[in-house]
Structure 1
């Protein structure tokens, strides 16, 4: 949680807010052993080594012994696979086999077996979108699935003004991505090259290709695209609030599209790739583009002339902490009640 990978961790954080329990734990694999308290969560880091799954079971057993009723809510296929205890709720962001197939991983067939096994050992399987469910190796006969969309913890955070100055003569685009190949940063760089006088692009996030794209931008001498790296929530909110438009590109592996609803929270237009779960989440399909430069450019200039402003209303009606939180509370209460049966 302290590293703020701003993906699964943020989902876990807001899920934890909706469960009525005195003791909540976040268990994760890390580079070193750690133990700390963060926003109501007892965070336990298990060092990634050959013994990590034995340590995982030891930690969960100790927690289970310490407390009368324990819900195991997992987001990690391997954790659930090697855990001696059954998983009460398993959240699917993107299917393990689906992701490994898209990346042509050498162990994809092994991951296929792991994924199917985890679903059978989970009391409830939670999908973050209909698309995520469609790409999972989930057997409909299990009849224990539920779909609950994501929300964002940014809604509950206080806004603090930061000194950000954007050009009034350009369209200022903002995106938050894991900097890897599927995020199509290459297409954003091409966009910056072709529109030096009309578009500024700001990319927040870290990932394995961050230095590669930074070097490429420097080599091309582009001053209208900035790789921001990791930025904290206060600065993140300022970029959302002050940009002209939020953009989300994806090639695969986008089980929801959190930057879409975060843009809507700040009443911003969002344009995005016509792929994965994005058409399911976006307010209107007129804001979708194909992953090529001409479609992208056309959509930016078309959206810039659009005077729609119902985005925050759409967020609060569909994805707000209140709207999503009530569904999680019902889910957790259902699991708790089963303990009493």
Structure 2
């Protein structure tokens, strides 16, 4: 049981300086007369008037804070419920996407480019575009830079039907779906690499990735869950045709969204269906070549930590360019129990 700080207030009264004139109250003929009190407000040995007010103010503040406890606890409980709901839904989304990708591994390069192209429409000057799901519109997916990506979009549309069927917090946005599909595709390639290093043994490969992989680096990416879909295509001309672009054109585009040669090199798998061909082109540029070589060496190691961590970091930043994340998305009211219907 808590003890009120107000209970200590009376003990402060004797510490206050005594009046220098007549008593505060004097009895005369059965009546009370109030006299003026002269207190020395600057007496260093006394308890100043402002100190008393401060003490009382602090005490009242503590009382109010204590009385608000139940409301704070309710708010904290609501936040925890909301976090759990989002976490469970996100886990289910990943499961659905991972299963869909595992059954269609050839679609991985297109899923990566789909996520890249949806995000690369971002324009820093106007704060428009970005990973907002605009690539789902027929007028945008049919553009030259998005050639060959329709199959990836169709796969996600089918996955969305399944996801929306079990979602309790409303349909998932294409903006979230596309970026989380890229995450699942990237993790699939990481695991596939570990399996290869284990001689094709899938069980050992999964254990290797669990022990040495960078799965724990996805925390920030996972928090960025709640992008809203735009209702119109993004402007044309913002995304290069990666397979036809020069290295300088790629560098210029990456620079325009806040990236440099390092990020360009680590995202080579997103620049078309043939990662090795993309890296060979990037390696001709003196600014990008050192990073290409760094990530090639990293992929030859057991953990490939440098490559994985830099790729996850870049994808995380790319996946929320210019977007306002709704951290309450996909949560839903908890069903109340009607105790009156319970038979006791």
Q: TM-score, normalised by structure 1?
A: 0.26
Q: Whose helix proportion is higher, 1 or 2?
A: 2
Q: Determine which structure has greater relative contact order: mean sequence separation of CA pairs < 8 Å that are 6+ residues apart, divided by chain length.
A: 2
Q: TM-score, normalised by structure 2?
A: 0.26
Q: Whose strand proportion is higher, 1 or 2?
A: 1
The structure with more radius of gyration: 2
